[in-house]
Amino acid sequence: MAEALDDLLRCPETGAPLRRDGDAYVAPDGRRWPIVRGVPRFVPDDAYVGSFSFEWNTHPTTQLDARTGAGWSEEILRAKTGLSPEDVRGKVVLDAGVGAGRFSDLMARWGAARVVGVDLSLAVEAARDNLRAHANASVVQADIGRLPFAPATFDLVVSIGVLHHTSDTRAHFERLVPLLRPGGTICVWVYPHEGAYLQRNAWIPFTRRLPPARFHRWCRWFVPFARRHRRRVLVQYALQLFPISDQGLGLDNDVLDTFDAYSPWYHGTHTPDEVVGWFEAAGLEDVRVLPWDTAVRGRRP
């Protein structure tokens, strides 16, 4: 899997091309980045995204269409990016914040020339396993704030549900734009500044401090309990204060999604106008807001 990246990777510090040396990539000045279990690692650890390392290795295939057969992730990909297989075929694609790889899996199936999935967390282990069968897909552990690619490398950059989990949503968006080739498209979805997303902002300072395994155990108990007893007044009251996921996609998905909602360290919320403003300030053209409001796409001139 790592070999497919030889021509794309650059030193994240200096931008110099890297050379393969056994189980590492090496820069001309001697800096080395190890390849561990088939994945090049450009960060020493999973920094502030430990909850995602836990989440995606606990639920590696819960949202993977290829495994569930449900087609729900494909619906989300189409709705939040406006992309169809024709837009992706033959393209070099960056999936920034790949998670367990559900969208990279789809774009690889849609015929992308190459899909590179990047994540700061150990979700890369799950993504590697889920993408193993695709010769046109590879995975890198790296920080969107310091990516190991040259400017103008990608025809398409997709980042769904990721940038609001960084310390500065806009700054991390701005890191992605120069990676587009002229004429390339970037599609982003971030949390909207409304409803349950705002309610969670009140909980997160507490819930993000819970050990992930313990909080996940609690979600595995509370989500089915609340569903079973949803007519009880006390449960209704609890759910108003602490909304859980109820997407009609099965218990496993709702447990995953409830954990996902309350466990991240960073949880930014944004308005569509704000996101459009970032796109315009970055010089992008044909800026379009998609039906999911804070899903925006634009093209590099």
Ligand X SMILES: C[S@@+](CC[C@H](N)C(=O)[O-])C[C@H]1O[C@@H](n2cnc3c(N)ncnc32)[C@H](O)[C@@H]1O
Contacting positions for ligand X (CB under 6 A): 49, 52, 56, 97, 99, 102-103, 118-121, 123, 143-145, 160-162, 165-166, 260
Residue 181: exposure state from Cβ atoms within 10 A (0-12, 13-18, ≥19): middle
* Minimum distance of ligand X from residue 52's CB (angstroms): 3
Task: Please give the Cα distance from 214 to 28 (Å, whole number).
Answer: 45
On whether the CB atoms of residues 140 and 122 are closer than 8 A, the answer is no
DSSP reduced 3-state for 144: coil
* Minimum distance of ligand X from residue 269's CB (angstroms): 14
CB within 8 A of 75, min separation 6: which ones?
none
Enter the tokens of residue 212: 């992930």
On whether the CB atoms of residues 97 and 113 are closer than 8 A, the answer is no
Q: Which is nearer to ligand X, 51 or 136 (CB)?
A: 51
Q: Which is nearer to ligand X, 161 or 235 (CB)?
A: 161
Enter the tokens of residue 163: 């940038």
* Minimum distance of ligand X from residue 63's CB (angstroms): 6
Q: Which is nearer to ligand X, 150 or 235 (CB)?
A: 150
* Minimum distance of ligand X from residue 3's CB (angstroms): 22
Q: Which is nearer to ligand X, 173 or 229 (CB)?
A: 173
Q: Which is nearer to ligand X, 5 or 123 (CB)?
A: 123
Q: Which is nearer to ligand X, 162 or 180 (CB)?
A: 162
Q: Which is nearer to ligand X, 143 or 254 (CB)?
A: 143
Closest CA to 94 of 82, 83, 85, 103: 103
* Minimum distance of ligand X from residue 233's CB (angstroms): 33
* Minimum distance of ligand X from residue 30's CB (angstroms): 25
Q: Which residue of this chain has its Cβ atom nearest to ligand X in the complex? A: 99
Closest CA to 273 of 291, 292, 294: 294
DSSP reduced 3-state for 289: strand
* Minimum distance of ligand X from residue 45's CB (angstroms): 12
**Which spans in the chain are helix H?**
50-58, 65-68, 72-81, 85-88, 102-109, 123-131, 169-176, 195-207, 212-228, 233-241, 251-262, 272-281
Please identify which residue in the block is written with the tokens 């979600």: 219
Q: Which is nearer to ligand X, 57 or 238 (CB)?
A: 57
Q: Say which DSSP state 3 is in.
A: G
Residues paired with 9 in a beta bridge: 149
* Minimum distance of ligand X from residue 165's CB (angstroms): 4
